[in-house]
Amino acid sequence: MSPVGTTAWLLVGLGNPGAKYAQTRHNVGFWWIDTFAKGLDTDFKPAAKFFGDFARVSWCGQNLLLLKPTTFMNRSGQAVLALLNYYQLPLEHLLIIHDDLDLPPGGAKLKRNGGHGGHNGLRDIINCLGRRDFLRLRLGIGHPGSGQDVVNYVLNRPSAADQRAIEAAITGALEVLPEVLADDIEKAMHRLHSQI
């Protein structure tokens, strides 16, 4: 175990690896964490022991561990569990960033606890951790209207208008990250939920 200090946070963006999926709706978790890392001029490096691409940065007085699982969405929990165990991080300092069908494009919500809502990445994380009381950043992608169309919908690109709305939500969510890292989740929720 490599110590990172008691203030360390693990931020995990969910998505599917590879160019085929890079611009699809299911990858907005990757989009968020890539945007954050790019702003810090930080590059991800493959980390086999964490089953993903990994970066470690210091920001706002916090040690941050950034992870993009490369296990494909339905095995995301394997990567999250490996990194949590290696650094012995408390679940209270885990933030999962993921796409959400129940929010419109441009919507963003912070939520602690709850089920997986049919999201395969969240389902696997809950199964692997044996707990569901972790913090999630939900980025809206809208719903196709029919459950039969969901798989095709999430694995395709958003429209240009939806893309702009999602990017605006990513920016808004990044703006409240300092409050999240300061454990002022209520303030972060209020700011985020009132601006989106």
Residue 134 marked ligand-binding: no
Residue 74 marked ligand-binding: yes
Residues recognised as catalytic: 26
Q: Is 98 helix (H, G, I), strand (E, B) or coil?
A: strand
Q: Return d(Cα 185, Cα 176) in angstroms, integer.
A: 9
Do the bridges between strand 94-100 and strand 135-140 make them parallel or antiparallel, or are there none, so unpaired? parallel
Residue 85 marked ligand-binding: no
Q: Return d(Cα 77, Cα 68) in angstroms, integer.
A: 11
Phi, psi of 155 (to 5 degrees): -95, 20
Question: Cβ of 196: how many Cβ atoms within 10 Å?
Answer: 18
Residue 120 marked ligand-binding: yes
**Which residues are registered as beta bridge partners of 112?**
135
Six-digit token pair at 120? 């395969």
**Could you tell me which residues are annotated as the binding site for tRNA?**
21, 72, 74, 120
